[in-house]
Amino acid sequence: MTDIAREMTTLREQLRHHEHLYYVLDSPEISDAEYDAMMRRLQALEAEHPELTASDSPTKRVGGKPREGFVKVAHSSPMLSLDNALNEAELRDFDRRVNDLLEGKSYCYVAELKIDGLSMAALYRDGQFFQAVTRGDGVVGEDVTENARTIRSLPLHAKNRLPAFEVRGETVMNRQAFERLNGEREERGLSRFANPRNAAAGSLRVLEPQITASRRLDYYTYFLFVDGRPALDSHWQALEELARMGFKVNRHRKLCSSVDEVLGFCAEWEGRREELPYEIDGVVVKVDSVEQQRRLGFTAKAPRWAIAFKYPARQAVTTVEGIEVQVGRTGALTPVARLRPVEVSGVTVSRATLHNEDEIERLGLEIGDDVVIERSGDVIPKVVRVHAQGSYRRQFRMPARCPVCGGTVVREEGEAASRCINTNCSARLKESILHFASRGVMNIDGVGEALVDQLVGRGIVQSVADLYDLTTEKLMELERMGQKSAGNIIRNIQNSKKNSLPRVLTALGIRFVGERTAGFLAEAFGSMDRIAGAGLVELEQAEEVGPKVAESVFQFFREPRNQELVDRLRTAGLQFEYRSAKPKGGPLGGLSFVITGTLPTLSRDEAKQLIEGAGGKVNGSVSKKTNYLVAGTDAGSKLDKAHELRVAVINEKQLLDMTKQG
Query: In the complex, which residues of this chain contact ligand IVH (CB under 6 A)?
Result: 80-82, 112, 114-115, 119, 170, 222, 284, 303, 306, 308
- The residue number whose beta carbon is nearest to ligand IVH equals 119
CB of 276 to ligand IVH, least distance (A): 13
CB of 304 to ligand IVH, least distance (A): 10
CB of 112 to ligand IVH, least distance (A): 4
Q: CA–CA distance from 358 to each of 365, 380, 398 (Å)?
A: 11, 19, 11
| Residue from 65, 72, 114, 286 carrying the catalytic annotation | 114
Residue 193 contacts by C-beta under 8 Å, 6 or more apart in sequence? 178, 181, 182, 185, 199, 202
Q: Which is nearer to ligand IVH, 263 or 354 (CB)?
A: 263
CB of 173 to ligand IVH, least distance (A): 14
Q: Which is nearer to ligand IVH, 168 or 375 (CB)?
A: 168
CB of 374 to ligand IVH, least distance (A): 19
**How far is CA 519 from its chain centroid?**
18
Number of Cβ atoms within 10 Å of the Cβ of 145: 20
Q: Pseudo-torsion of CA 477, 444, 193, 384, nearest 10°?
A: -10
Q: Among residues 230, 226, 178, which one has the least CA distance to residue 201? A: 178
Q: Which is nearer to ligand IVH, 115 or 504 (CB)?
A: 115
CB of 292 to ligand IVH, least distance (A): 15
Q: Which is nearer to ligand IVH, 277 or 448 (CB)?
A: 277
How far apart, in whole angstroms, are the C-alpha atoms of residue 300 and residue 291?
A: 20
Q: Which is nearer to ligand IVH, 263 or 339 (CB)?
A: 263
Q: Which is nearer to ligand IVH, 241 or 370 (CB)?
A: 241
Beta bridge partners of 280: 115
CB of 306 to ligand IVH, least distance (A): 5
Q: SS3 string of 45-113? A: HHHHCHHHCCCCCHHHCCCCCCCCCCCEEECCCCCCCCCEECCHHHHHHHHHHHHHHCCCCCCCEEEEE
Residue 65 contacts by C-beta under 8 Å, 6 or more apart in sequence? 146, 209, 636, 637, 638
Q: Which is nearer to ligand IVH, 75 or 530 (CB)?
A: 75
State yes or no: is 114 an active-site residue: yes
Beta bridge partners of 157: 128
Residue 405 contacts by C-beta under 8 Å, 6 or more apart in sequence? 420, 422, 424, 425, 426, 427
Read off the amino acid at residue 568. R
Q: Among residues 85, 101, 83, which one has the least CA distance to residue 93? A: 85
How far apart, in whole angstroms, are the C-alpha atoms of residue 486 and residue 470?
A: 10
- End-to-end Cα separation, the chain, in angstroms: 45
- Are 419 and 332 in contact, with CB atoms under 8 Å apart? yes
Q: Which is nearer to ligand IVH, 119 or 506 (CB)?
A: 119
CB of 138 to ligand IVH, least distance (A): 8
Q: Which is nearer to ligand IVH, 230 or 615 (CB)?
A: 230
How far apart, in whole angstroms, are the C-alpha atoms of residue 46 and residue 116?
A: 39
How far apart, in whole angstroms, are the C-alpha atoms of residue 315 and residue 313?
A: 5
Number of Cβ atoms within 10 Å of the Cβ of 600: 16
Number of Cβ atoms within 10 Å of the Cβ of 423: 15
CB of 308 to ligand IVH, least distance (A): 5
Residues with catalytic function: 114
